[in-house]
Each structure stands twice: as C-alpha cells, then as structure tokens.
Amino acid sequence: MNSEIKTLIKNSGVVAVLEIEDSSCAVETARALIKGGVTVIELALRSAAAVPSIALIKEHVREMNIGVGTILHPDQIQHVMELGALFGVSPGLNEKVVESAILHKFPFAPGVATASEIEKAVTYGCDVLKLFPATPLGGIEYLKAVSAPYKHLNLSYFPLGGITLESLPRWAKVENVLTVGGSWIATKDLIREHNYDEITRRAKIAMDIWNKERGVVK
C-alpha cells in the first residue's frame, strides 16, 4: 500500500465497515458518518447495491474516502478503481486478487489469520494486512504473538471482526495497528431504518475514543 493512502487511513482513525442493501441510503449514511468525524469507509461487495452505492458516495460525498471490502475476484479490482475507490481489502489472501491489485497499482490489504498467510503476503510486497476475524482469532494478544516474528518488517495491521466500542480503547493502543474496522457504527439495521442520527452519534463516540487513546488533538 502506498505511503499516501497508508497515511490517510492512519490519520483518519476508525474505518466504518458498511454493508448497504439499498443504494438510496448510501449518500445519507456517508453524510452521517462524516458528521460524526468518520472519513474512511470499507464498503463491502456483498449486495447488488454495493457498486451503485460506491458511485453515489463518490459523486455526492466527496470528502468521504472510499475503501472497498470483500474483493474476491481479480476483475473487481479494476472495476472499483474506476468507480473511485482509494483502496481495497479482502477477508482472505487470494493470490490472483493480490496479483491484480499489483498489476493495477491499487492499494490493497489482503486478509490474514496465520503466520503462513503473513509470510505469503510479504512475498507480494504487502505491508498493510487485514487481520480477520480479529477477535475470534484471539484479539490483541493473538496479534501481538503472530506479528512478533515480523516486527523488523514494519508491517501494519487493520484488525476487523468482533471489535466493539468496549474493546476499541485497547486496540487503539497497539503500536502496529494502523486502524480498526467497525461494523457497529453503521449497522445494516440502522441503515435500513434510516437512523442517521444514531450513526452520527456512534461515529463521534468511536472517533473520540480513538483520538484520545492515540493522543490526537482535534
């Protein structure tokens, strides 16, 4: 992942993970997140509404930095780039997807869960890795243990899966955690119910916690 995008993600704080089922909700959801201080999203390619949602957010909420998740096929890389995505992630390490990202010079963080997967990612030059599913794997202690042999490589991690508001302060204190992904900020139910005020409230709480623990003065 190039240094510009890595710095953008690091400085932005918590990433809101979105699964949008109706593209008509996309713009207001993004605006609610921005209002709460969250400026980076990971929009998952898990529904027919995902692609039009990316395009709508790119057009109408230009201050939102769009990442795309659940990239499972190589041809999706070029497609999401053309829609305006700044980076992509996947739940696992699909070599063909990583090779496509390299070919198109698209900032990409593959999913890893084991030492072997970390090593495979490193052979492709990946230096930002998505730890998934972070909490079921063993959480912070697992990340510290599995990443220890590779500390000299200056890898950064993007934990996602099972992270909550309660565990967020502890994750924020981990040195090699670039950011964390939170699906609790804008859940499918909140989006479906158009409860944008609650999304803003959750975004603000998450960002306040993150900034406090990271020593960021806003």
- φ and ψ at residue 6, rounded to 5 degrees: -60, -45
- Within-domain flag for 148: yes
| Of residues 186, 175, 214, the one with CA closest to residue 13 | 214
DSSP H or E segment with residue 131: strand 128-131
Does the structure show a pLDDT above 70 at 218? no
4 CB contacts (<8 Å, ≥6 apart)? none
- Within-domain flag for 189: yes
- pLDDT tens digits for range 114-173: 999 999 999 999 999 999 999 999 999 999 999 999 999 999 999 999 999 999 999 999
Per the annotation, the verdict on 42 as an active-site residue is yes
Q: Is 33 helix (H, G, I), strand (E, B) or coil?
A: helix
pTM (whole model) above 0.85: yes
Q: Which of 42, 59, 82, 204 is catalytic?
A: 42
Domain encompassing residue 195: 3-213
Counting the structural domains of the chain, the total is: 1
Question: Is the Cα torsion angle 7, 10, 11, 17 positive or negative in sign?
Answer: positive
Beta carbons of 18 and 186 less than 8 angstroms apart: yes
Per the annotation, the verdict on 6 as an active-site residue is no
Q: Which of 28, 82, 120, 130 is catalytic?
A: 130
| Of residues 74, 82, 133, the one with CA closest to residue 108 | 74
**What CATH number did the domain enclosing 88 receive?**
3.20.20.70
